[in-house]
Structure 1
Amino acid sequence: MAMFSKACEYGIRASIYIGQQSADQGRRVGLRDIATEIGSPEAFTAKVLQLLVRAGLVTSVKGPTGGFELTAEQLRTVTLREIVVAIDGGEMLQGCALGLRQCSARQPCPMHYQFLPIRDQLNELLRTHTIGELAGKVHDGLGFLKQFS
């Protein structure tokens, strides 16, 4: 079961790949390379990257030497939480496990108190991990970005 939407999964993976390329080789990467490396359809990847560029989380440069990159500051500061919010919105990170708008401590759903610590842990994880940190793990062989068949 996926926790995030497909768009969000691709957005996170694309950001990490772009971050790895930016940090390792200081190079920009094209859409086709990104889609191939993360195992995602090119047109869908383009839409996801457009959201990330619009949010200022990934940089896009036009022209013959163009492509996508992350600046040193973006590598250091862009968190997973920012990517999730840019693509999926923040509802999952604040809302009820059952999607009930009126769920609260005063009027809890049946899962409220069990879900609250899990949601808080997820928020902490997403808030404290940067793209640069995760790109470093891929670079060091401690993680991968593409499904193997």
Structure 2
Amino acid sequence: MFSKACEYGLKAMISIATKSAKGQRTNLKEISANIDSPEQFTAKILQQLSRSKLIHSVMGAHGGFEIREDEMRKIKLIDIVKTIDGDQLFVGCGLGLKECNASKPCPIHHRFIGVRNDLTKILSETSLVEMSNDVNGGLAFLNR
């Protein structure tokens, strides 16, 4: 459903948020290890997230990546998905056809609309701070 880059982006954002919630910054090496992602690929994703101002990159000896707490409350998972994958998941055909709509539906069109609407609702209502709280509280895990 999500691209591999988007999966890593979601996990990276949660990883950064869990550290930021503790008042700490994290670096590329730590993030890559925490989400089990290749460093170069993770670096490209972090660059994209930074350009979109979803994360902050601080240079220097005590630098790294961070997300301010007030921003964590505002950032919804849908913001991350749209930054990395665009909005095709929310408007496109479930089978990837170029033309698919109610008057000319693909075979899964009517079933997929419900799934897409549910996913949109979940991603729109779930904040990054909720995810980091679950990880920091031991209720959820990024990596086993």
| TM-score, structure 2 as length reference | 0.95
User: Which residue identity is paired with 2:3?
Assistant: S
Correspondence for 1:13: 11
Q: Determine which of 42, 45, 61 is the counterpart of 1:45.
A: 42
Q: In structure 2, what is the Cα distance between the partners aligned to 1:102 and 1:117?
A: 19
Q: In structure 1, what is the Cα distance between the partners aligned to 2:65 and 2:86?
A: 23
Give me the identity figure in percent: 46
Correspondence for 1:85: 82
What are structure 1's unaligned runs of at least 5 residues? none
SS at match of 1:37: helix
What are structure 2's unaligned runs of at least 5 residues? none
SS at match of 2:140: coil
Correspondence for 2:69: 72
Q: In structure 2, what is the Cα distance between the partners aligned to 1:125 and 1:30?
A: 29
SS at match of 1:27: coil
SS at match of 1:36: helix
User: Which residue identity is paired with 1:16?
Assistant: I
* 2:92 matches 1:95: yes
User: For this pair of structures, how many residues does the alignment match?
Assistant: 144
| TM-score, structure 1 as length reference | 0.92
* CA RMSD, 1 decimal: 1.0
SS at match of 1:68: strand
User: Which residue identity is paired with 2:107?
Assistant: P
User: Which residue identity is paired with 1:30?
Assistant: N
